[in-house]
Amino acid sequence: MNNRNLVSMGTVCVALLVSGMTLNAEERGRSLKIIEVKRIWDKAPHNAFTDLVRFNDRWFCAFREGRSHVSDDGKVRVIRSEDGVEWRSVALMEWDGGDVRDPKLSITATGQLMLNGAVRFLQPVDGNRHQSVTWLSDNGENWSKPFACASGLGTWRWSVTWHKGVAYSFGYSGKDKGGCLYSSKDGKTWETIKAKVYPEGEYGANETSLLFLENDTAYCLLRRDVGSRATGLLGISNPPYTDWEWKCLGVRIGGPKMIRLSNGRLLAAVRLYGGEGWQPAHTSLGWIHPESGRFTEALKLPSGGDTSYAGLVLYEDLLWVSYYSSHKGKTAIYLTKVKIDM
């Protein structure tokens, strides 16, 4: 990949946005249908930034609790359910002198449940504002101490995807403002694959969702927040994942989460914006088209205000979606079941 692919990206983004809206009108409501929506947690003043996994035949949902969207008291809570209806708390992750943020759940190559996130230091540590951390568990209830390796200081590794025994994660912020792809075999220690992976100059790029195909092709759904270029990107790469081709989605997104269905289609949950700036916003499911890079909204979830950061799990012919929203006043955690018409 070379930077010629990025020439006139603003113009390309406008064109994709128009075509995406046209296709959206044709597809909306035809492929996805909400079966059920439940509020599953609202005990803290602000409950947000979720992820969801099915592990050992049980459901686990992780999210941040605090006074507000950004506050000094952030902790990560893990709740468990046998049936997705009744939930109970099984763990609370804290960091003395730090705000624990953006928990992400995955299952390691050895079958452990892993939770990764970032600590926002209340006071800089050696000039750094963030530390990426990992916790591990054999049963989802008893957790290890936090693992904070040296490469995680000064970066915010977001979601983790395991592929053929290796964990992959993009770091951003601090030393990794240009994006850095990391890998790990145990989730405890991480090594750099490629620094400055994001398109040249994209220092407003941050949150990511990675997935891999059976042939080892990698896709990355990337959020950007800089001015007129604040549109999401789709990255495509092949081993050793040091060169990436980036395509413009044509829409602004937040909190990306992407999965691949059994028929090969790519489905994503994102925050979408209805106007200029950050508001109004809602959480939606939509299709990712790899060849063009465009995003087509397919289903708006009951949401609004402070919202998004979904977890996605395909189980028994339904898509289970955890997310947070403040559309009913208090910022709370929701679980939605969606029927997909393949």
**pTM (2 d.p.):** 0.91
| Amino acid at the residue 209 | S
pLDDT at 288: 97
CA distance 143 to 146: 9
DSSP string for residues in 29-70: TTSEEEEEEEEEE--SSEEEEEEEEEETTEEEEEEEEESSSS
CA distance 124 to 130: 8
**Contacts with 21 (C-beta within 8 Å, 6 or more apart), sequence order:** none
CB count in 10 Å sphere of residue 147 = 19
> Which helix (H) or strand (E) element contains residue 183?
strand 180-184
- Beta strands 295-300 and 281-288 are antiparallel
Q: Return the exposure string of 272-305: e unless at least 16 CB atoms fall within 10 Å of the residue's CB, then b.
A: bbeeeeeeebbbbbbbbbeebbbbbbbbbbbbbe
Question: How do the pLDDT tens digits run along the chain, 342 residues long?
Answer: 443 344 334 434 544 444 444 444 445 445 899 999 999 999 999 999 999 999 999 999 999 999 999 999 999 999 999 999 999 999 999 999 999 999 999 999 999 999 999 999 999 999 999 999 999 999 999 999 999 999 999 999 999 999 999 999 999 999 999 999 999 999 999 999 999 999 876 778 999 999 999 999 999 999 998 766 789 999 999 999 999 999 999 999 999 999 999 999 999 999 998 766 556 899 999 999 999 999 999 999 999 999 999 999 999 999 999 999 999 999 999 999 999 987
* Domain residue ranges in the chain: 3-37+137-340
pLDDT at 274: 78
Domain 3-37+137-340: homologous superfamily in CATH: Glycosyl hydrolase domain; family 43 (2.115.10.20)
pLDDT at 276: 61
